[in-house]
Amino acid sequence: MDTAPHPLTGQARRLAEVLLAPHAQRVDQEGVPLSHIDALRGSGLLGTSAPTAYGGAGAPDAVAREVQEILAGACCSTWFVQTQHHTPVRLLARSDSPARDSLLGPLATGALMAGIAYAHVRAFPRVLVRATPQGRGWRFDGAVPWYTGWGLNDVMLLAGISDEAEVVFAFADARDRPGLEASPPMRLAALSASRTVSLTLDGLWLPDASVVLRAPQETWARHDAARGANASPAVFGVAYAALRLLEQASDTGTGGRALRARLDEVRRRAYALAEHPEPEEHVAERLSLRTQAYHLMRTATTAAVVAGGGRTMGLDHAAQRLAREGLFLLIQGQTAQARSAHLRSLTAAVDQLRWPPLEDSV
Ligand SMILES: Cc1cc2nc3c(=O)[nH]c(=O)nc-3n(C[C@H](O)[C@H](O)[C@H](O)COP(=O)(O)OP(=O)(O)OC[C@H]3O[C@@H](n4cnc5c(N)ncnc54)[C@H](O)[C@@H]3O)c2cc1C
């Protein structure tokens, strides 16, 4: 962890050590409690990247990445619920929509917390949510397959696609209302605790004033693919948490140290590229580092299970939780491009497997 000390990274560490890590196994089984969200709201961390003029910290991206790493390594479910919030905040900060003045302040201070409902627009030309102009606003119809933080957050950033192949992003209250209905929370292999639901939209009407972005789908997809090429700080957070478990086991020898050194190097390179001023450059290298981070995370979480033995299968053991959380991170924020790069790399890894030499006695 190599960024200059910042008060928010100290705050994140305190929250991680005192609250998130000690309760992570219970939260994984029972769900993220409102008290965790309240602690986040009061911590200032929800305003990490928000402009100071609106009550945020305006912290550099390097600090934001480190905060996300710390939270993800302590309790991935709580991390995931809060990480949704930062995209709407960043989008509002760049927008000239009236929603900026009504929402950016409360989102920056944590008075409001936001979720997102937009991964489905990546499926274009399949349209899962249609946005249609109606009066002085837009109506949204269709199905949002995934929405995290239902009942925990207050507002959602919802996206649909218009007949003119434009993406339309608008804010809505995150609660059942005419035109918006949530499923029961999903039972999942990991992150069930994140209160993830699907949403049915049947003529949900939102005023023009709540719209924060309209852009040709093609333009948006290009930016999204560029952003999605970078390695996620959460992957490093979970990998380091697994390494700490591994290092507590007595007989891991130099393997744990070698893994940590490799992880440090991939992280350093991935974050250097994340700082590059041209986000659409070096895409192949970004994807390669993203994929390497996945491989190292899976190795670290698997090694923590192997080193811990049978006990790790208990639901009260951190190793199995980290392994399941790592599984989830493999598909979180997945774009078509990231998906292909990861699959290619997995196939290449299989190609490198060699049969052991046969021993005479066999
Ligand atoms: C627990 C959980 C919570 C989530 N919460 C949220 C949330 O709060 N908000 C939100 O917006 N999203 C959320 N997601 C969605 C998550 O980010 C997506 O799962 C991820 O982006 C993968 O997309 P998908 O599963 O929806 O689409 P998929 O259909 O699996 O597609 C993933 C990507 O690969 C491409 N693709 C699919 N099949 C092929 C193929 N055969 N060839 C080439 N490309 C292909 C798609 O176009 C897409 O870009 C959540 C997911 C999970 C599992």
Query: Atom 17, ligand 1: which residue's CA is nearest?
Result: 333
Q: Is the CB of 156 under 6 A from ligand 1?
A: no
Express each pLDDT in 249-297 by its tens digit: 866 666 788 999 999 999 999 999 999 999 999 999 999 999 999 999 9
CA distance 210 to 202: 18
Output the pLDDT for position 212.
Answer: 98
Q: Is the CB of 197 under 6 A from ligand 1?
A: no
| Best residue for ligand 1 mutational test, from 146, 183, 217, 329 (most atoms within 8 Å of Cβ) | 146
**Of 170, 174, 171, the residue nearest 213 (C-alpha):** 170
**Ligand 1 atom closest to 148 (CA):** 8
Task: Work out the angle at residue 234's Cα, subtended by the Cα atoms of residues 275 and 76, and round it to the nearest 5 degrees.
Answer: 155
CATH 1.10.540.10 fits 7-109, yes or no: yes
CB 301 within 8 A of CB 320: no
- The domains of the chain are located at 7-109, 114-215, 228-351
Is the pLDDT reported for residue 3 higher than 60? no
Q: Is the CB of 82 under 6 A from ligand 1?
A: no
- Work out the percent of the chain whose per-residue pLDDT is above 90: 92
Output the pLDDT for position 4.
Answer: 61
Question: Sign of torsion, CA 34 36 38 44?
Answer: negative
Around 28, how many Cα atoms within 13 Å sit in the side-chain half-sphere? Answer: 24
Fold (topology level) of 228-351: Butyryl-CoA Dehydrogenase, subunit A; domain 3 (1.20.140)
Q: Is the CB of 98 under 6 A from ligand 1?
A: no
Express each pLDDT in 131-155 by its tens digit: 999 999 999 999 999 999 999 999 9
Express each pLDDT in 189-236 by its tens digit: 999 999 999 999 999 999 999 999 999 999 999 999 999 999 999 999
- Write down the CATH number for the domain with range 114-215: 2.40.110.10
**Ligand 1 atom closest to 339 (CA):** 34
Express each pLDDT in 293-348 by its tens digit: 999 999 999 999 999 999 999 999 999 999 999 999 999 999 999 999 999 999 99
Q: Tell me how far apart the 2 most distant CA atoms of the chain are, in Å.
A: 82
CB 279 within 8 A of CB 226: yes
**Of 153, 150, 170, 152, the residue nearest 161 (C-alpha):** 170
CA distance 178 to 100: 25
When pLDDT is cut at 50, 70 and 90, the band that residue 188 belongs to is: very high
